[in-house]
Amino acid sequence: MTYFRSHILVCNDPECVEKGSLNLMTALQAELAAKGLADEVKVLETPRIGDCDKGPEILVYPENYHYIGLSAADIPFLVEEQFLKGRPVASLLAPPKREEVQELREPTAKEVRVVLRNCGKINPENIEDYIAEDGYSALAKVITSMDSDQVIDTVKNSGLRGRGGAGFLTAMKWGFTRDAVGDIRYIVCNADEGDPGAFMNRAVLEGDPHSVIEGMIIAAYAIGAQQGYIYCRAEYPIAVRTLEIAIKQARDLGLLGENIFGTDFSFDLEVRQGAGAFVCGEETALIASIEGKRGEPRPRPPFPAVKGLFGKPTNINNVETYANIPQIILNGAEWFAAMGTEKSKGTKTFALAGDVKKTGLIEVPFGITLRDIIFDVGGGIKDDLQFKAVQTGGPMGGCLPEESLDLPMDYEKLTQAGSIMGSGGMVVMDEGTCMVDIARFFLEFIQDESCGKCVPCRVGTRRMLEILTRICEGNGREGDIELLEELSQEIRQDSLCGLGQGAPNPVVSTLKHFRHEYEIHIHEKKCPAKVCRALISYEIDPDNCVGCTLCARNCPVDAISGEAKKTHVIDPDTCIRCGICSQVCNYNAVNVTT
């Protein structure tokens, strides 16, 4: 049997045939023969590659290049470039497929859309769409019939808490800022949604920017501010653009700028972009960034409400906090307070990511259980595997196990369980996840993003990361767990800002709920989830292996040997545990052991 280094699959569906694919096949075979490649490249017919309306189309294996719209004239160049020189021809390649994934589906029965109510329904680049949905009516009501006290009281009675993660009572913060000494005040929106796995704010900024703008103007009115900034991370260029368009349209209609609605209340807004620093989501680091400095947090007190941006009283709230305000003003505090639990009122957006079937955004009233979110709204675990853990609150959140699934979503309840609400990111993990690897992974992120200002965070998290890396590499030692616990306590107590204070949470929560995994890594040098590369090995099952050689041909380090039609063998010393052999094997013949 001849082994070909390349296969060309030519689509023979009627549509492609009509466009000349069989002639193409003949031309390919002739050109390959002319170039002496007939023994190395095999041409085959295949049905239904997929893009027949752009045919004729071919697939080149093993690289999986998909060429479309070919004609006989293309063949000589294609053969020379692709098969003689090994260079794919970019101009003939099909554009990469984008899978249709809905980030925001039709709401399920358990959802209530307040913050997300307009997303996907209106054109965010047309202010009139927003106005048609009662947009800016709340502002009109506030400016014409309410004073500062009445606005702050309404927000207070609604029970709204900051949605950025800390959950501080919004009305209280507004009150402090209004009552602080000084003539100049600022309103800032924290749109630096840096939590990996969180994209709720992005949806609102891109889909309904005016809800945030209106909320900010109302806040400015209540607090007595003249200028506002929306600090949006640069990783969200579409959001930045949408905001700038929205601000201009609001200004053009007199909703921003001098004398709003013809009163003597003036307020204007500016967008400021981040530059790629997770720590700038922390309020004092964010302020430093707007001031043109390194994003390093500052000690508090004094709090931003008293001394913030440019040293002036500043109110900083999250995107979602502001987006709730117009609805609270229009529908009333009681309407909002009727949703949620005793201490956590209203709704919250969550972003489901990871091993769950329906990834994407949801908005639910507080009080719903984790189980309902993951298995009802989220549709359960992908491929129906076993649930293992869910991480809430971002990289400074905790991992909660199956026993916690009936926990109601509530600020205090989550903190008691060892996690945090955070901004709403939820990463669901299945049975194939190693919790030690996950803790190490989050700590790596935090180490990368630590601003470096204070020793507990800068040095402490590095030491923790070193210990975790050793454990994952099979060099864990007696006493490592105790050391991790000691370091965690110190870092929590002594760090300057929330990033450092929360940094140990992934480790603390995984130690609490999955301690046995750590112990197995350290004492037995095994990884129960078969993830940590130094602790696993790949073996070929002789009962299933048919000797097709696919694994050997795809192994990046040539660690697999064997003759055709005979059982193959992996050399454990050369194997780098990349898993490619397991992925390409069609006979389930590759086993991972620990």
Partner 1 sequence: MTVTTKESRDVIKTVDEVVDEFHARSEELIPILMKLNQELGFISSETLERISTRMHIPQSQVYSVASFYHMINTKPTGRHIIKFCESAPCHVAGGREVWDAVQKELGIKPEETSNDGRWTLKTTSCLGVCAVGPVMMVDDDIYGNLTPNQLPEIFAKYE
Q: Closest CB to partner 1 among 175 and 424?
A: 424
Residue of 460, 410, 439, 428 whose CA lies nearest to 513: 439
Structure tokens, 521: 């890594």
Residue 136 Cβ, how far from partner 1 at the closest point, in Å? 27
Please give the residues from 220 up to 259 whose contact with partner 1 meets the rule CB under 8 A: 234-237
Q: Is 88 in the site for partner 1 (CB under 8 A)?
A: yes
Residue 354 Cβ, how far from partner 1 at the closest point, in Å? 5
Residue type, 100: E
Stretch that binds partner 1, among 1-9, 177-185, 444-452, 539-547 (CB under 8 A): 444-452
Residue 395 Cβ, how far from partner 1 at the closest point, in Å? 7
Residue of 340, 279, 321 whose CA lies nearest to 173: 321
In angstroms, rounded to a whole number, what is the distance separating the alpha carbons of residues 325 and 141? 12
For partner 1 (CB under 8 A), the number of binding residues is 64
Q: Is 74 in the site for partner 1 (CB under 8 A)?
A: no
Stretch that binds partner 1, among 161-169, 300-308, 346-354, 507-515 (CB under 8 A): 346-354
Residue 283 Cβ, how far from partner 1 at the closest point, in Å? 17
Query: What Rg, from alpha-carbon coordinates, does the chain have?
Result: 29
Q: What angle do CA 461, 465, 471 make, to 5 degrees?
A: 150
Q: Is 586 in the site for partner 1 (CB under 8 A)?
A: no
H helix or E strand, kind and range, residue 561: strand 560-561
Q: How many other CB atoms sit within 10 Å of the CB of residue 36? A: 9
Binding mask 103-122 for partner 1 (x = CB under 8 A): x-------------------
Phi, psi of 348 (to 5 degrees): -140, 140
Which parts of 352-450 fold into alpha helices (H)? 370-371, 411-416, 435-449
Structure tokens, 27: 């031309």
Q: Is 461 in the site for partner 1 (CB under 8 A)?
A: no
Structure tokens, 99: 């899978």
Residue 290 Cβ, how far from partner 1 at the closest point, in Å? 7
Residue 232 Cβ, how far from partner 1 at the closest point, in Å? 11
Q: Is 289 in the site for partner 1 (CB under 8 A)?
A: yes
Q: Is 575 in the site for partner 1 (CB under 8 A)?
A: no
Q: Closest CB to partner 1 among 289 and 347?
A: 289
538, 576 Cβ separation under 8 angstroms: no
In angstroms, rounded to a whole number, what is the distance separating the alpha carbons of residues 108 and 379? 11
Positive or negative, the CA dihedral 499, 505, 507, 510 is negative
- The label of the residue with tokens 């129960």 reads 528
Out of 1, 264, 556, 586, which residue is the one contacting partner 1 (CB under 8 A)? 556
Q: Is 290 in the site for partner 1 (CB under 8 A)?
A: yes
153, 237 Cβ separation under 8 angstroms: no
Residue 206 Cβ, how far from partner 1 at the closest point, in Å? 10
Q: Is 578 in the site for partner 1 (CB under 8 A)?
A: yes
Q: Is 96 in the site for partner 1 (CB under 8 A)?
A: yes
CA distances (Å), origin 580, targets 66, 529, 554, 576, 577: 21, 18, 7, 10, 8
In angstroms, rounded to a whole number, what is the distance separating the alpha carbons of residues 519 and 154? 52
173, 162 Cβ separation under 8 angstroms: yes
Positive or negative, the CA dihedral 287, 289, 290, 293 is positive
Q: Closest CB to partner 1 among 363 and 410?
A: 363
Q: Is 78 in the site for partner 1 (CB under 8 A)?
A: no
Stretch that binds partner 1, among 283-291, 311-319, 332-340, 585-593 (CB under 8 A): 283-291
Out of 354, 401, 456, 528, which residue is the one contacting partner 1 (CB under 8 A)? 354
Q: Closest CB to partner 1 among 355 and 410?
A: 355
Residue of 437, 442, 346, 433 whose CA lies nearest to 392: 442
Q: Closest CB to partner 1 among 141 and 358?
A: 358
Structure tokens, 7: 């296969």
Out of 164, 167, 194, 228, which residue is the one contacting partner 1 (CB under 8 A)? 194
Out of 441, 473, 494, 547, which residue is the one contacting partner 1 (CB under 8 A)? 441
Out of 54, 272, 298, 462, which residue is the one contacting partner 1 (CB under 8 A)? 272
Please give the residues from 303 up to 332 whose contact with partner 1 meets the rule CB under 8 A: 310
Residue 393 Cβ, how far from partner 1 at the closest point, in Å? 12
Out of 443, 451, 491, 508, which residue is the one contacting partner 1 (CB under 8 A)? 451
Residue 56 Cβ, how far from partner 1 at the closest point, in Å? 18
Q: Is 372 in the site for partner 1 (CB under 8 A)?
A: no
Q: Is 433 in the site for partner 1 (CB under 8 A)?
A: yes
Q: Is 286 in the site for partner 1 (CB under 8 A)?
A: no
Q: What angle do CA 445, 317, 276 make, to 5 degrees?
A: 30
For residue 73, count CB atoms less than 10 angstroms from its CB and return exposed for 0-12, middle for 13-18, buried for 19 or more. exposed
Residue of 272, 305, 56, 353 whose CA lies nearest to 176: 305
Out of 353, 385, 546, 548, which residue is the one contacting partner 1 (CB under 8 A)? 353
In angstroms, rounded to a whole number, what is the distance separating the alpha carbons of residues 348 and 373? 12
Residue 327 Cβ, how far from partner 1 at the closest point, in Å? 24
In angstroms, rounded to a whole number, what is the distance separating the alpha carbons of residues 591 and 145? 71
In angstroms, rounded to a whole number, what is the distance separating the alpha carbons of residues 227 and 268? 5
8, 75 Cβ separation under 8 angstroms: no
Q: Is 458 in the site for partner 1 (CB under 8 A)?
A: no
Stretch that binds partner 1, among 28-36, 59-67, 214-222, 317-325 (CB under 8 A): 59-67
For partner 1, the binding residues (CB under 8 A) are: 63-66, 88, 90, 93, 95-96, 98-99, 101, 103, 193-199, 202, 234-237, 272-278, 289-295, 310, 351-355, 359-360, 391, 395, 425, 427, 429, 433, 438, 441-442, 445, 449, 451, 556, 578-580, 583
